[in-house]
Structure 1
């Protein structure tokens, strides 16, 4: 697969995720790209698209976020980001593929358990927020797969859908902006790649529109089953490729 086709697929898929497919579908982006390119390259390629996607989403949900959760999660997330980047830039690609495969299978496991989280009797503790922030920062920096910890934490806090989306948007915008200079400094992302991606930016809103139409059309139960099958299949493939 050539570079142009790769970034077209990445841009449209990010748009689809921001348009309604959700964070579990977003966990497929880097694993899919990593079947045809090095993991670090796939992670770097998707970062600018994710930043723009969250930037577009944030005004819609401005100030509709859980400030307490953000105050707990963000400092720990920064620690996770530093650790994730250290692993991303030091581990060989075969090992990264196995790690990414394990992360992908973990997302599938989270998806299976997510419905039960809504019924759990939950008593909040500060360390839950720290752990969720650290896990999301680590997963985001290592593989752009940081959604499950923060999603599980917010589900347990029983926030409204608008607050859920708004908290996710600002959390990952901050985390991804923090990652950006580190990725440039460590050559995970370079200027040539950024310049080569500019022409794909109009594809983001197209992907958002397609995502909204798809969510209105698809049966939720079938969509969930499809996501589980894809996550499990790609996770196992990456483990075997590694």
Structure 2
């Protein structure tokens, strides 16, 4: 009785799990651009991060893109906290905490059952609704900071922020609208947002590992892209010190709209 050799020369073995996925030069260029946007969004232009979310989702498989992007966001968070640590509004952060936890839990359940199309469409609708409500409140001179409804606003935005950050790392626009409605000046906005996302994103790591969206190949992609994030974070710090408040607010709203529309139509 003959025994077949354990390794047939004609059979291809699967690639090791640690290999970086095969990507074209154009795909790497897009990921590099997205990494730059991540750094800028944390230290200069909140809301722009949604564009990075869209690029990663277009280049990589949806769940893998979420894990890869999460670790890059944490790197950018570290720089943002270092740069703006003295400008955070801790009362606002404490007020948001309970609702964010609820949103994270709901997002984890949603992520376990919804497909990629539902995730994108749901977040796109949420973002457009948040933008519309925020602009309406500002026009009526009833922003979150002056309406006397801090708890309602914190519960609403906090839950939506926790949900959108869990399912697609897309809470930037949601929380940007909240901080914008509160009429924070540029550095207070960036400092509060920096601490908020640093805490939330680090808290997401164990859950992300448990559901398999942080992987070894994803970590290798992150190693290539981290330098782009770091360079852009320092560039963003330089920009933030020179950008007028009115321009800052228009950029936040504009990038949020672009990101929301992209998620709806792609």
Q: If the length of structure 2 is used for normalisation, what is the TM-score?
A: 0.73
| 1:21 corresponds to | 45
Where in structure 2 are the equivalents of 1:144-159 lying within 5 Å? Answer: 144-159=169-184
Q: Is the alpha carbon distance of 1:109 and 1:71 closer, same or farther for their aligned partners in structure 2, counting shifts above 3 Å?
A: same
Quick one: distance in 1 between partners of 2:260 and 2:65?
15
Match of 2:202 among 177, 188, 192: 177
| 1:199 corresponds to | 224
State the Cα deviation string for residues 170-199 of structure 1 (Å, max 9, x = none).
111111011111111101111221133213
Quick one: distance in 2 between partners of 1:62 and 1:50?
17
- In the alignment, is residue 135 of structure 1 matched against residue 165 of structure 2? no
Quick one: distance in 2 between partners of 1:106 and 1:211?
28
Q: Which runs of 5+ in 2 are unaligned?
A: 1-22
Quick one: distance in 1 between partners of 2:258 and 2:178?
26
RMSD: 3.4
| 1:101 corresponds to | 124
Quick one: distance in 2 between partners of 1:234 and 1:115?
21
Q: Is the alpha carbon distance of 1:133 and 1:38 closer, same or farther for their aligned partners in structure 2, counting shifts above 3 Å?
A: same
- How far residue 148 of structure 1 moved from its aligned partner, in angstroms, is 3.9
More helix by share: 1
Where in structure 2 are the equivalents of 1:48-59 lying within 5 Å? Answer: 48-59=71-82
Match of 1:186 among 211, 234, 239: 211
Count of matched residue positions in the alignment of Structure 1 and Structure 2 = 239
Quick one: distance in 1 between partners of 2:259 and 2:82?
34
- In the alignment, is residue 68 of structure 1 matched against residue 70 of structure 2? no
- In the alignment, is residue 82 of structure 1 matched against residue 88 of structure 2? no
Q: Is the alpha carbon distance of 1:36 and 1:193 closer, same or farther for their aligned partners in structure 2, counting shifts above 3 Å?
A: closer
- How far residue 91 of structure 1 moved from its aligned partner, in angstroms, is 0.9
- In the alignment, is residue 31 of structure 1 matched against residue 54 of structure 2? yes
State the Cα deviation string for residues 212-236 of structure 1 (Å, max 9, x = none).
6777699x769948974x7656645
Quick one: distance in 2 between partners of 1:221 and 1:72?
28
Match of 2:34 among 2, 10, 13: 10
Quick one: distance in 2 between partners of 1:32 and 1:170?
25
Quick one: distance in 2 between partners of 1:87 and 1:75?
19
Quick one: distance in 1 between partners of 2:77 and 2:102?
21
Quick one: distance in 2 between partners of 1:154 and 1:223?
10
Larger radius of gyration between Structure 1 and Structure 2: 2
Q: If the length of structure 1 is used for normalisation, what is the TM-score?
A: 0.79
